[in-house]
Structure 1
Amino acid sequence: MVFTTTLKLFLLILLVQNTNSVTHIKGSAKREKVDIPATMAFVSIQGEGADKTIIEWDDTADRKGKNGKPLGTYASATVAVNSPYFIAKNVAFKNTAPQPPSGALGKQAVALRISADMAAFVGCKFIGAQDTLYDHKGRHYFKNCYIQGSVDFIFGNGLSLYEGCHLNAKTNSFGALTAQKRGSFLEETGFSFVRCKVTGSGALYLGRAWGSFSRVVFAYTYMDKIITPKGWWNWGDKNREMTVFFGQFKCWGPGAEYGGRVSWSRELTRQEAEPFISLDFIDGRHWLPH
């Protein structure tokens, strides 16, 4: 089905008809805030290109909601996906809130929040500043996507594989690419970046240990000189240095030099990296469409 009105209207039609379909989005930027409920499984949307098909809004965590209380990071998302088996292709998700000073309170501005299992994004863009992509929970696959932000611009507790993605920092001071929230050794969550590239401005940590057992791996990834030599930050808690899993494998570029990294990160061996660098990391061979 092809539509030129709002994504909200199309989803309402699907809900009434109790059907599932691939939605082809035509036209340019659409200013709307969208929440796809958990009851709408197998929703797929496809745009005409991530530079042309854009869904945008400008909420921030400190903006007041209908109840008069701040929205919070969770509800600031331009698009929130709560439905399993969601697929998006060639669409841009954008939060147009102004970029705040580094460390500003209440300025988290999510472009997309994915809170469902088994979701895939191909050729998409995620544009924002602080907390751009909320990789909240579930198994997710990002292929050939562009993700831009400043602080913690990929964050959450998902189990996610990012393959061939361009990660671009936009900050004039310190920023952080990831903030992964794995809170227990028993949780099978984490972020893996394979054959990606990291570029941008400012000084960037590869990740901050939001969770005590935070887990992030970069493999075969180009890193520009913006990456700080230490690479990682313990979130101000030295105890996390003993429990996090932060690693690199065969990365390259001026920011990939491992010699200055914190002692509690790892330069992985082939055997250590193997579980993170294929679709098996997210059990993708069992749920991803060909």
Structure 2
Amino acid sequence: MFLRLFLLILQLESRSSLVQCSGSQSVVVQEGYLKWIKQMSSLRHSVFQKAEKQKHKPCLTIKVEKKTGAGDFVSIQRAIDSIPEVNLCRVIISIGPGAYKEKVEIPATKAYISMEGAGAEKTVIEWDDTADRIGPKGRPLGTFGSATVAVNSPYFIAKNITFKVSVDDDVDVEHCTIAALRSIGKASSGTEDICRHCSICGVQVPWSPRHTLRPHGRHYFKECYIEGSIDFVFGDGLSLYDGCHLHAITNSYGALTAQKRESMLEESGFSFINCRVTGSGALYLGRAWGTFSRVVFAYTYMDKIITPRGWYNWGDKNREMTVFYGQYKCSGPGAEFGGRVSWSRELTSEEAKPFISLTFIDGQEWIKL
């Protein structure tokens, strides 16, 4: 059915192209559509463009310090605002020690920005927005708009910083969602971001979605600490978590991931390798937010907080036939596979191979080790 549909599109488009083109030009157009159909009908089709090499050598360093006069700016957002539109070279924003209580947004026109702190325990960016808070346009911010730090541009790098949700005790977090870090680009934009030695912290809340980290595009998280309660790593990105510590803070049920892959052709998913999962409460490894949700844990230590079943189908039994949830050589009291749902899998070395290296995110093209 899939191929017949695209062949029909080919016939219609070919006729249209022949009206507009003649001779060798029509041949080129038809060959282009044939190539496109071959790509779209392949199970290896990706919604992401080919990864591009990162620009790592800086052309400018901007210093942000809490003390007036000690740096170029006292505000991170003002440092970002000072960068020219359509930025095409690597700019480092060096952020000194201290708690920076501000909402930060990097616009799509300012690529190649690095934010480097003095250490995750020393440099903290925190804000208290929630999804139900009314924004400047008179409407609730939503989860998308609630992020403490929102990265809308490609080729972002963060090092040695804590991104934190800081909600006052009198705020009713039971009925709002919050994100500490949102890194997003359209699936076709080729967005590629790196976080190293960062902490990304959400809040402790009852059983309903309370997000911490929303990655879209390609992402590499190296030796980061990620803390939250329910669906605290969520979205439809293609993300690799290498040597990270994931810590649950809930007194009831929680979920580590909510991956939103919606098509068999979409090569998004989350892979966790050499990680640690600890915390409190009872934790699902993931919930099937997307019909074709895909998450893999490999060489990961799992504390006893992991529920024996491991995974939840989002209340839709049909998703049990389409999701891809796997473990490979994990350890710890929560890694026991015997009680897992029948629709998850203990991967073979061949099945695990695509998920346990930088090639999962095409990292060999854009990550500098």
Q: Same fold (TM over 0.5)?
A: yes
AA in 2 matched with 1:274: K
Bigger mean CA deviation after superposition, 56-65 or 185-194: 56-65
1:242–1:7 distance in 2 versus 1, CA, 3 Å: same
For residues 92 and 164 of structure 1, the distance between their equivalents in structure 2, rounded to whole angstroms, comes to 17
Bigger mean CA deviation after superposition, 267-276 or 20-29: 20-29
Pair 1:128-2:202 in alignment:
yes
Q: CA deviation at 1:99?
A: 8.7
AA in 2 matched with 1:72: G
For residues 104 and 265 of structure 1, the distance between their equivalents in structure 2, rounded to whole angstroms, comes to 31
Q: CA deviation at 1:66?
A: 1.6
Q: CA deviation at 1:50?
A: 0.4
Aligned to 1:179: 258
Q: CA deviation at 1:16?
A: 6.4
Q: CA deviation at 1:6?
A: 1.2
Aligned to 2:34: none
1:17–1:194 distance in 2 versus 1, CA, 3 Å: closer
Aligned to 1:262: 341
- Structure 2, unmatched stretches of 5+, are 1-60, 66-73, 186-190, 204-209
Aligned to 1:138: 217
For residues 136 and 154 of structure 2, the distance between their equivalents in structure 1, rounded to whole angstroms, comes to 27
For residues 97 and 262 of structure 1, the distance between their equivalents in structure 2, rounded to whole angstroms, comes to 36
Q: Select 1:50's aligned residue among 120, 128, 142.
A: 120
Q: Select 1:115's aligned residue among 181, 184, 191.
A: 184
For residues 275 and 99 of structure 1, the distance between their equivalents in structure 2, rounded to whole angstroms, comes to 44
Q: CA deviation at 1:97?
A: 2.3
Identity over aligned residues, as a percent? Answer: 62
Q: Secondary structure at the match of 2:234?
A: strand
1:17–1:141 distance in 2 versus 1, CA, 3 Å: closer
Higher strand proportion: 1
Q: CA deviation at 1:21?
A: 1.6
For residues 233 and 174 of structure 2, the distance between their equivalents in structure 1, rounded to whole angstroms, comes to 17
Aligned to 1:38: 108
Aligned to 1:3: 64
Q: Select 2:351's aligned residue among 252, 272, 284.
A: 272
Q: CA deviation at 1:216?
A: 0.2
RMSD in angstroms over aligned alpha carbons? Answer: 1.8
Are the counterparts in 1 of residues 86 and 109 from structure 2 also a CA contact under 8 Å? Answer: no
For residues 27 and 63 of structure 1, the distance between their equivalents in structure 2, rounded to whole angstroms, comes to 29
Pair 1:154-2:223 in alignment:
no
Give the TM-score of the pair, scaled to structure 2: 0.76
For residues 158 and 169 of structure 2, the distance between their equivalents in structure 1, rounded to whole angstroms, comes to 26
Are the counterparts in 2 of residues 97 and 128 from structure 1 also a CA contact under 8 Å? Answer: no
Aligned to 1:212: 291
For residues 167 and 227 of structure 1, the distance between their equivalents in structure 2, rounded to whole angstroms, comes to 12
For residues 193 and 337 of structure 2, the distance between their equivalents in structure 1, rounded to whole angstroms, comes to 33
Q: Secondary structure at the match of 2:134?
A: coil
Aligned to 1:75: 145
Q: Secondary structure at the match of 2:308?
A: coil
For residues 174 and 193 of structure 1, the distance between their equivalents in structure 2, rounded to whole angstroms, comes to 21
For residues 20 and 225 of structure 1, the distance between their equivalents in structure 2, rounded to whole angstroms, comes to 43
For residues 84 and 160 of structure 2, the distance between their equivalents in structure 1, rounded to whole angstroms, comes to 23
Q: Select 1:189's aligned residue among 268, 272, 277.
A: 268
For residues 8 and 207 of structure 1, the distance between their equivalents in structure 2, rounded to whole angstroms, comes to 34
For residues 159 and 58 of structure 1, the distance between their equivalents in structure 2, rounded to whole angstroms, comes to 28
For residues 131 and 64 of structure 2, the distance between their equivalents in structure 1, rounded to whole angstroms, comes to 31
For residues 99 and 196 of structure 1, the distance between their equivalents in structure 2, rounded to whole angstroms, comes to 32
Count of residues paired in the alignment:
288
Q: CA deviation at 1:104?
A: 3.8
For residues 195 and 127 of structure 1, the distance between their equivalents in structure 2, rounded to whole angstroms, comes to 20
> For 1:222-258, what per-residue CA distance to the aligned partner results, in whole angstroms no more than 9, with x for missing partners?
0000000000000000000000000000000000000
Pair 1:283-2:362 in alignment:
yes
For residues 239 and 288 of structure 1, the distance between their equivalents in structure 2, rounded to whole angstroms, comes to 37
1:211–1:99 distance in 2 versus 1, CA, 3 Å: farther
Displacement over 3 Å in runs of 4+? 16-20
For residues 70 and 15 of structure 1, the distance between their equivalents in structure 2, rounded to whole angstroms, comes to 30
Give the TM-score of the pair, scaled to structure 1: 0.96
1:205–1:99 distance in 2 versus 1, CA, 3 Å: farther
For residues 279 and 122 of structure 1, the distance between their equivalents in structure 2, rounded to whole angstroms, comes to 15
